[in-house]
Structures are given as structure tokens and as C-alpha cells.
Amino acid sequence: MRLYIDSADVKQIARLNEYFPIAGVTTNPSILVKENRPYLEVLREIREIIGEEKELFVQSIGDISEEIVEESKFITSELPGKVIVKIPVTDEGLKAIKLLTLENIPTLATTVYTAFQALMAAMAGANYVAPYVNRIDNLTGNGVNVVAEIAKLYAAYQLPTEIIAASFKNVQQVHDVCLAGAHTVTVGPDLIEKFIAFPATPADVADFKSQWQKTYGSDKTSLVNS
């Protein structure tokens, strides 16, 4: 399991990268335009924060395969480190994934709503596929089931493509896709913070500390000075 941050907010990325086990950052056009400044400047700052070993995902916006291939080469040459191009699973997108695979440029097939889209993307050579869990749920589908079906198909056909489940509105959805066979997840900063937010934990920690200090003295704040 790997965890990615689905955001381009550099402050939140810096905090989460410091505290959580983060494997990289995913962006898309909606996420980048929220920052309202030159997108390459934002991506370079994210790269500075996460370093060159962690993956940074950038989505193409071109409509036809030639444009997508050109964008992919451009973005991988502009940014240092591991960059993965996200490509929507349209017919032109699939063609671009095939062409980029021939050139060993890693891709993620995105805007995935069905297991069969994911199957086509994997057969075209995509390194990752991103099913949109909450958006599927909003269409009265079942995002977790789609992830489970993709995992089953990939196992049956021994496809090496990894499922990076995306689009979540609550922690339960993330929990459920992990159990359904997602290899990795990408999640917005606010939801990642909620992964460990459980009221009993800070209450227990406060009890431990207060018992300690009642016995050893209120100035004893750690094992080192007790």
C-alpha cells in the first residue's frame, strides 16, 4: 500500500509529507487551477518539497494522441525526478498510452468509471489506473465494487498495472477500497488528516502523561528528564 496526496497546495503537502508516510503527489487540472498561479511553478515547488524519489503525477489536457504524447514529453523534461503522466481513458488517451509505453514513458489512466475501461488501459500498457470511487458512487454506481472488479481482472490476466484508487469523500471509502484490492490510494489533505483522528487516542495519551506526572512530578515531561 502506498499513499499519495491528491492536491497542489504546497503548504498542506509540506505538512503531510513531514508527518505521514507519503509516496508522492497527484494533481489534475482542477487541482492545479485552484492554486491560481503558473502551473509549472507550483509543480516545481511540490517537487522541491517531496524530493526527486517520490512520484509526481501531472495530467494531460490535449484532446488527440499526438498532443498528449507531446505534453507528456514536455512535462517529463521540465520536471526533475519521477513524473507520471495522467491520461484520461478516451480513445485518443488509450492510443497515447500505447505510444508512450513504447517509449518507456510511465502513464496513469485516469477518469476511470468501469472495470472494462481499467482493463483496456492496462492492456494498453498503463502503469497505473485511477478509478474515481466517489464520483462512481454519485452516479449511483458502487465505486468500491468497481475497484474490486478491476483487482480481480488484473489478477486473472496477470496484468502488472497498479490500481491507484481516487476521488474520496470519506475515510470509510478509502478503508473499503484498501480491502477491495487497491494497490495504492490518492487522497485529499483534509481526509488524510482524518485517517488518524480518533478522539480516544489523544484522551489516552493525556491520561498516560497525567499519571506519569502525578508520580514523578509535573516538570517530568519525557523519559529523558524523569
Binding residues vs ligand G3P (CB under 6 A): 6, 26, 28, 130, 132, 134-135, 166-167, 186
Residue 132 DSSP code = B
Shortest gap between Cβ of 221 and ligand G3P (angstroms)? 41
Residue whose C-alpha is closest to residue 157's, from 185, 131, 121? 121
Residues 6+ apart with CB under 8 A from 174: 165, 168, 185, 187, 191, 195
Beta carbon nearer to ligand G3P, 15 or 135? 135
Phi and psi at residue 97, to the nearest 5°: -60, -45
Q: DSSP code of 90?
A: S
Q: Which is nearer to ligand G3P, 189 or 220 (CB)?
A: 189
> 15: exposed, middle or buried (C-beta count within 10 Å: 0-12, 13-18, 19+)?
middle
Shortest Cβ distance from residue 140 to ligand G3P (Å)?
A: 15
Residue with cell 492510443: 95
Q: Which residues participate in catalysis according to the annotation?
A: 86
Of 2 and 210, nearer to ligand G3P (C-beta) is 2
* Burial (CB count <10 Å: 0-12, 13-18, 19+), residue 131: buried
CB of 204 vs ligand G3P, minimal distance in Å: 33
Cell numbers given for 146: 468497481
CA angle 99–100–103, rounded 5-degree value: 100
Residue 138 beta carbon to ligand G3P: minimum distance, rounded to whole angstroms: 8
Nearer to ligand G3P, 17 or 28 (CB): 28
Decide whether 58 or 96 has the Cβ nearer to ligand G3P.
Answer: 58
Across 144-204, the runs of DSSP E, i.e. the strands, are: 162-165, 184-187
Which set of grid coordinates corresponds to residue 111?
Answer: 477518469
Contact criterion met (CB below 8 Å) for 185 and 177: yes
Q: How far is the CB of 24 from ligand G3P (least distance, A)?
A: 12
